[in-house]
Amino acid sequence: MTRQLVVTVPAVDAELASDALWGLGVVAVEERVDVDGETELWTSLGDEATAADVRLPQPWPWRFVEVDDAVAETWRQFAQPVWVEADLVVCPAWVPFDEPAGVVVLRIEPGATFGMGDHPTTMLSMRALRRLVHMGCTVLDVGCGSGVLAIGACVFGAQGAVGIDIAPAAVPVTTANALANGVASRVGVSTTDLADLDGTYDLVVANILAPALIALSADLLRVLAPGGSLVISGILAEAHAHVLSALAPLRVVATDELDGWVAVTLR
Ligand SMILES: C[S@@+](CC[C@H](N)C(=O)[O-])C[C@H]1O[C@@H](n2cnc3c(N)ncnc32)[C@H](O)[C@@H]1O
């Protein structure tokens, strides 16, 4: 059996609630309409999830439901390779895919973490990273989930990448994905709080929702090496000025948008 989280929201709040769940690191969110016409969002925070893990921005009713493993895994049948760029694919590890010549393919098994490459914020962050990574640079991935960005950075040429996440599942999942993609010796991952992390990094990426980015802003500034770049995503095109203010004196050097989401590069 697998523990599912079901959040019930008025239809008008479905998108906001889905975004909040993505920010908690879920892999997939399924929308169902219940008998009262309200929207149920079905997802998973992992089998060990407790009430403390259900951090929602509004007091929507929620419940845990134990469901059959086969039902919980249905989404896997429909997972597809994601073309992040014309020559860059993130492929679910269990999906057969003939690698075309000249195309970089990252194989990702998400387990109970976020990071299949299919969410706009992951795609935007990955594209920004690919532009910014230079040979030998060091990368910090705050909220690494499946490790997809940290692993991508190493495949693009980074000397090494450190991933951190508050979700314990991110550690074994990122470790296994780094191994599967041939960069295990260059990817480190832990549940260390950003506040407790020492050192600085040439490139810092944080694909987390706005409130978390603001809460982490002082430490994001602290861990960024002088002259380094910070890529933030998980923020909406129409509402992210408050996040940029929290990251002053860094200045925006690029803003990339997809489906209402943005990734902003600051330096
Ligand atoms: C949207 S997912 C991003 C996953 C992956 N980096 C990607 O781009 O696909 C956000 C991740 O941030 C993690 N997270 C949320 N708040 C965090 C915090 N304060 N510190 C570290 N990780 C956090 C979540 O557990 C989740 O795995």
Question: What confidence tens digit (pLDDT) does each residue in 73-100 have?
Answer: 777 888 899 999 999 999 999 999 998 9
In terms of Cα–Cα distance, which of 244, 256, 204 is closest to 227?
Answer: 204
Furthest C-alpha separation in the chain: 56
Tokens found for residue 99: 């690698």
DSSP 164: E
pLDDT band at 152 (very low <50, low <70, confident <90, very high): very high
Nearest atom in ligand 1 to the alpha carbon of residue 144 is: 6
Centre of ligand 1 to C-alpha 114, Å, is: 8
The region that residue 92 occupies, defined by phi over 0 for left and psi between -120 and 50 for alpha, beta otherwise, is beta
Rounded distance between C-alpha atoms, residue 261 and residue 241, angstroms: 13
pLDDT for the residue 211: 87
Tell me which residue has its CA closest to atom 1 in ligand 1: 23
Rounded distance between C-alpha atoms, residue 190 and residue 187, angstroms: 10
Q: Which residues contact 54 (CB under 8 A, 6 or more apart)?
A: 5, 24, 45, 62
**Contact at 8 Å (CB) between 260 and 223?**
no
Write down all domains in the chain, each with its CATH number in brackets. Answer: 2-75 (3.30.70.120), 118-266 (3.40.50.150)
Residues with a CB atom less than 6 Å from ligand 1: 22-23, 25, 113-115, 122, 125, 141-145, 148-149, 164-167, 170, 194, 207-208, 212, 216, 234
In terms of Cα–Cα distance, which of 120, 90, 152, 140 is closest to 233?
Answer: 120
Q: What percentage of the chain has pLDDT greater than the value 70? A: 99
3-state secondary structure of 131: helix
**pLDDT, tens digit, 9 for 90 and up, residues 168-224:** 889 999 999 999 999 999 999 999 999 999 999 999 999 998 888 999 999 999 999
pLDDT for the residue 168: 87
Rounded distance between C-alpha atoms, residue 234 and residue 217, angstroms: 14
**Contact at 8 Å (CB) between 122 and 115?**
yes
Ligand 1 site-directed mutation target among 129, 146, 208, most atoms within 8 Å of CB: 208
Place of tokens 């004196």: 249
- Residue 12: how many CB atoms within 10 A of its CB? 8
Tell me which residue has its CA closest to atom 2 in ligand 1: 25
Centre of ligand 1 to C-alpha 11, Å, is: 26
* Position 28 pLDDT exceeds 90: no
* Position 236 pLDDT exceeds 80: yes
* Position 34 pLDDT exceeds 80: no
Ligand 1 site-directed mutation target among 165, 214, 216, most atoms within 8 Å of CB: 165
Tell me which residue has its CA closest to atom 9 in ligand 1: 115
Nearest atom in ligand 1 to the alpha carbon of residue 25 is: 26
pLDDT for the residue 37: 76
Query: Which burial class, exposed, middle or buried, applies to 71 when counting CB atoms under 10 A from its CB (0-12, 13-18, 19+)?
Result: exposed
The region that residue 24 occupies, defined by phi over 0 for left and psi between -120 and 50 for alpha, beta otherwise, is alpha
Centre of ligand 1 to C-alpha 189, Å, is: 13
- Residue 13: how many CB atoms within 10 A of its CB? 18
Rounded distance between C-alpha atoms, residue 31 and residue 116, angstroms: 19
In terms of Cα–Cα distance, which of 57, 24, 16, 59 is closest to 43?
Answer: 24
Tokens found for residue 141: 């991935």
